[in-house]
Chain A
Amino acid sequence: MRTAFYITLFASVLLVSTAVAQDRTTWTVAPDGEITSITEAISKAFPGDRIEVHGGTYAESPIVVMKQVELIGIDNPVIDAGGENEAITIAADSTVFEGFTVKNVTHSFTRDRAGIRVANASHVRVANNLVEDTFFGIYLARSKHVDVLDNEVRGVPKREANTGNGIHLWNSDNIRVDRNFVSGHRDGIYIEFAEGSSFAENEVRDNLRYGLHFMFSDHSSYERNLFRDNGAGAAVMYSSHIEMRENEFAHNWGPSIYGLLLKDIRDSHIEDNVFYRNTTGIYAEGSSRVKITGNTMERNGWAVRILSNCYDVEFTRNNFVGNTFDVTTNSRRNPNLFEGNYWSKYDGYDLDGDGYGDVPHRPVRLFALIVERQPIAMTMLGSLFVDILDLAERVLPVLTPETLVDERPLMREVR
């Protein structure tokens, strides 16, 4: 009897839910169809409806979405913003915008015009779009729980002064930005006052300033991204509790260009990243309680430049391989820890066979400090004189930071 009751209950729930689903109308927009404009379809639709937009060019911006709809592009429909407008603004919760090409939004000094804007909305999904030649690409403001997935955001690289950011978050929480490709913008991904957000598996390259740029945004993470050929890979500034894992920072090359720039960062982790061929791998200023472990720093000009206003920054189990300078700093004070790292420049021995070198390693070369003060001295790099200088200092340190020593250098690379 009881079973029968549950079966009836289950069946009626099923019936009701399918009835609700059937209530949902699908509207079709096509250049040669009954409805030819996206705006018209939105105005006719009821909340929860689906709007399928077929291939063709739609010049009707700005499209403003004020009710919950699913906008689905089929056969690559193009929204041409015509220059002065934004292409689309999404201001309704639970809206989906998927499968479109959005293009042609020009620069403005006073307006942050974007291809796709999400404003004051939550649970929005922006996926599989191509955003091309727009001032800002995808712009999220005062929004929550937005997913930005699998989009391609391509700017036309002009001067840094009149290019906006590819994906821009402002005052937004719990945002997920995954598997996007961003290039040709000022910052690839810019995050200001955005808490609890995550950024994974994005490819960010050829942006004029930073690949990823955190400002005042706590409790966020970025993992498995590739940052290549940007003005700097990532700049993480004035934030705390940031998790940075398994990213690749490569070929960020040029004067004052970094793989990772840390400024005023607290209580964060940098783990298992690869820094390959950057002018400076990690630059840290005013940062504290940051654990840096399991990273590989290979063939950078400077692997690590850490200023003495940092404290309790811990470098453990990292690989320093073939960098011109492994570590440099600006003071003899060193309130940070280096322990159990692998240094390809280490020339000690391990007689007791415990895997750690028996004599400590001093990773700061005297010459690095000289260059820090007199950049022109760089022309002396590789000369015999410099090698003798470095050797003498290593044996009898008088100028390099006394406590910047790895007491337990690893004999083998960390895998």
Chain B
Amino acid sequence: MKRFLLILLALFVLLLSACEPGPRDLHYGQEECAHCMMRLSDPSFATQLVTQHGRHYAFDSVECLAGHLEAGDIPEDDVHSLWVANFADPEGDWLRAEDAVYLQSEDLMSPMGLALTAYSDEETLASFREEYGGEIRSWSEVRAIVYDAWIEEGQGHGMGRH
């Protein structure tokens, strides 16, 4: 009997963990970015936000995810988790935005002009940096960059012009 209860408990825990909200598959070519309205088209740059209530917001780029948060469109304590696509393996697993490392390189232009790409670890990033150059950024640096470019100056300022 005790054993049965234990199994039941284990199953219940398993069920609960299955309910844990996480990233979902995005419908490229059909969904719009929740921030810039562009239709999602390139999995390499996609990002998403899951709220405490399990609601999903899809974005076409790292900068739109950061921009949405910086603009205060979704309160920070409402956020359950933030996810970014792995540029080195866009069809693989989603990465947590806070754990990912970022490259800002003009030779890897992202959909909203700030040239940000995300990677699972520094080693992978380094191999891309060798080829494309650019600066290594953390998630908090990414947010600061987007804040400076979009909130301070008004959206519409990318890094393309020199």
Decide: B161 and A209 in contact? CB cutoff 8 A: no
Decide: A208 and B41 in contact? CB cutoff 8 A: yes
* B43 in complex: contacting residue of A161, A208, A231, A237, CB < 8 Å: A161
Known: A159-B28, A160-B29, A238-B155. A110 touches B161 (CB 8 A): no
B38 on the interface (CB 8 Å rule)?
yes
A263 on the interface (CB 8 Å rule)?
yes
B72 on the interface (CB 8 Å rule)?
no
Residues of chain A with a CB closer than 8 A to B38's CB: 235, 237
Least Cβ–Cβ distance between B95 and chain A, in angstroms:
15
Q: How large is the interface on B (under 10, 10 to 19, 20 to 34, 35 or more residues)?
A: 20 to 34
Decide: B39 and A110 in contact? CB cutoff 8 A: no
Residues of chain B with a CB closer than 8 A to A238's CB: 155-156
Decide: B37 and A160 in contact? CB cutoff 8 A: no
> Quick one: which of A139-184 are within 8 Å of B by CB?
159-161, 170-171
Known: A159-B29, A231-B29. A110 touches B44 (CB 8 A): yes
A210 to B42, CA, bound (A): 14
A16 to B94, CA, bound (A): 67
Least Cβ–Cβ distance between B159 and chain A, in angstroms:
9
Known: A160-B29, A285-B37. A264 touches B156 (CB 8 A): yes
A264 to B35, CA, bound (A): 12
B70 on the interface (CB 8 Å rule)?
no
Least Cβ–Cβ distance between B46 and chain A, in angstroms:
10
Identity of the chain B residue whose Cβ is nearest the Cβ of A160 in the assembled complex: B29
A192 on the interface (CB 8 Å rule)?
yes
B99 on the interface (CB 8 Å rule)?
no
* A109 in complex: contacting residue of B30, B44, B109, CB < 8 Å: B44
> Quick one: which of B119-162 are within 8 Å of A by CB?
128, 155-158, 160-162
A265 to B30, CA, bound (A): 24
Decide: A216 and B109 in contact? CB cutoff 8 A: no
A210 to B36, CA, bound (A): 14
A193 on the interface (CB 8 Å rule)?
yes
Residues of chain B with a CB closer than 8 A to A170's CB: 109, 160
Identity of the chain A residue whose Cβ is nearest the Cβ of B128 in the assembled complex: A110
B21 on the interface (CB 8 Å rule)?
no
Q: Do most interface residues of chain B lie in helix, strand or loop, or is the interface mixed?
A: loop
Decide: B113 and A192 in contact? CB cutoff 8 A: yes
Residues of chain A with a CB closer than 8 A to B42's CB: 161
Least Cβ–Cβ distance between A191 and chain B, in angstroms:
11
* B108 in complex: contacting residue of A110, A171, A215, CB < 8 Å: A110
Known: A216-B113, A238-B155. A256 touches B39 (CB 8 A): yes
A294 to B158, CA, bound (A): 34
> Quick one: which of A232-263 are within 8 Å of B by CB?
232, 235, 237-239, 255-256, 261, 263
> Quick one: which of B9-52 are within 8 Å of A by CB?
28-30, 32, 36-39, 41-44
Known: A110-B87, A192-B113, A209-B29. A216 touches B41 (CB 8 A): no
A365 on the interface (CB 8 Å rule)?
no
A193 to B38, CA, bound (A): 17
A125 on the interface (CB 8 Å rule)?
no
Least Cβ–Cβ distance between A366 and chain B, in angstroms:
26
A255 to B128, CA, bound (A): 37
Decide: A160 and B160 in contact? CB cutoff 8 A: no
Residues of chain B with a CB closer than 8 A to A160's CB: 28-29, 39, 41
Identity of the chain A residue whose Cβ is nearest the Cβ of B31 in the assembled complex: A256
A186 on the interface (CB 8 Å rule)?
yes
Decide: B158 and A231 in contact? CB cutoff 8 A: no
A238 to B28, CA, bound (A): 22
Least Cβ–Cβ distance between B132 and chain A, in angstroms:
8
Residues of chain A with a CB closer than 8 A to B87's CB: 109-110
* B109 in complex: contacting residue of A159, A161, A192, CB < 8 Å: A192
B90 on the interface (CB 8 Å rule)?
yes
Which A-B residue pairs are the 5 nearest by beta carbons? A160-B29, A193-B160, A238-B156, A161-B28, A160-B41
Supply 29 A–B pairs (Cβ within 8 Å), ascending by A: A109-B90, A110-B87, A110-B128, A159-B28, A160-B28, A160-B39, A161-B28, A161-B41, A170-B109, A171-B160, A171-B161, A192-B109, A192-B158, A193-B113, A193-B161, A215-B113, A215-B158, A216-B113, A216-B157, A216-B158, A216-B160, A232-B39, A237-B36, A237-B38, A238-B155, A239-B156, A255-B30, A256-B32, A261-B37
